[in-house]
Amino acid sequence: DIQMTQSPSSLSASVGDRVTITCRASQGISHYLAWYQQKPGKAPKLLIYAASTLLSGVPSRFSGSGSGTDFTLTISSLQPEDVATYYCQKYHSVPLPFGGGTKVEIK
């Protein structure tokens, strides 16, 4: 089965900073990579799919890139409301593993 690995597991950055989270698949998954945002005490929400397509309503400071095995989620200018844990997931076939998550905090 394909494994998903995220890094870092946590980060602390200042408001306005550029933040980058990486996700690596143990085998190629083409562009079938999604990013979810989970705010404290809330359910996850779909943020990005097909590696780089933002869901409607997601602020443009979020972006995704990559294909095959290496993917990136970038927040171009971190805002207080972006405090959350972010998960990647491959979704082209079951099983549907998630990455371990990256907790983003404000410094």
Partner 1 sequence: EVQLLESGGGLMQPGGSLRLSCAASAFTFSSFAMTWVRQAPGKGLEWVATIRGSDGSGSDGSTFYADSVKGRFTISRDNSRNTLYLQMNSLRAEDTAIYYCAKVWTGNGWLLDYWGQGTLVTVSS
Residue 96 touching partner 1 (CB under 8 A): yes
Choice from 11, 69, 74, 100 touching partner 1 (CB under 8 A)? 100
Residue 106 touching partner 1 (CB under 8 A): no
Q: Pairing between strand 10-13 and 102-106? A: parallel
Choice from 71, 73, 87, 104 touching partner 1 (CB under 8 A)? 87
The encoded tokens of residue 31 equal 């562009």
Residue 38, number of CB atoms within 10 A of its CB: 16
CA distance 8 to 22: 7
Binding site for partner 1 (CB under 8 A): 32, 34, 36, 38, 42-46, 49-50, 55, 85, 87, 89, 91-101
